[in-house]
Amino acid sequence: MKGGPRYKVALKRRRQGKTDYRLRYRLVISQKPRAVVRKTNKYILVQIVEFNAIGDKIVAAAHSKELSKLYNWKGYGKNSCAAYLVGYLAGLRAKQKGIKEAILDIGLQTPSKGSRVFAALKGLVDAGIEIPYSEEILPDEERIKCEHISKWAEDLKKSNEGAYKRQFSKQIERLPPEELSKHFEEVLSAIKSKEGGNE
């Protein structure tokens, strides 16, 4: 009975729907750093976190805001292409701090095949961080490299220029969407050059 002698109030973050403590416990007892991937309506955030009884320690991190500020990324900050680049950037920074392996932590997000969180995972793995995963959950290579956007934009521009301008109105101001796949490769090369990804 609620309020009875055996009733126990759930922890605050559990009541707020922010933390699944059973999942967190399983991640913590692995004794590996956690590759924490979070997404918002506009951005992707990737952190490499080590457990500490006093408070978790963030060893390395990357945010999709950094892509535009440091690497002149002209695409959106929340799509699969950006998620991969953020994961790759976080992975290189983690390697510089001596992190070689981690375990994926997607929090309360529902795992969905080919989603942005797994694009970020692919970036971490390609940067050299060992993380257990199944190949089938990763997004297609063309989604990671923005090729699907470029191809769709080209086809839409040929068939219906009005719809093309409406669909990509904000993107056109920064960079024509059909050039995104090429731009992705340029930004990836810049990250490798600056962060030591060619080692």
pLDDT value of position 149 = 93
| Residue 39 burial (C-beta neighbours within 10 Å; 0-12, 13-18, 19+) | buried
- DSSP summary character for residue 111: P
Report d(CA 21, CA 115) in Å as an integer. 24
H-helix or E-strand containing 96?
Answer: helix 80-96
- Which of 3.30.420.100, 3.60.15.10, 3.90.1150.10, 3.40.50.2300 is the CATH number of 17-195? 3.30.420.100
Residue spans per domain, the chain: 17-195
Q: What is the DSSP string of 113-144?
A: TT-HHHHHHHHHHHTT-B----GGGSPPHHHH
3-state SS assignment for residue 169: helix
User: Each residue's pLDDT tens digit in the chain (199 positions)?
Assistant: 466 778 777 777 667 766 666 766 677 777 899 999 999 999 999 999 998 878 889 999 999 999 999 999 999 999 999 999 999 999 999 999 999 999 999 987 888 999 999 999 999 999 999 999 999 999 999 999 999 999 999 999 999 999 999 999 999 999 999 999 999 999 999 999 998 755 5
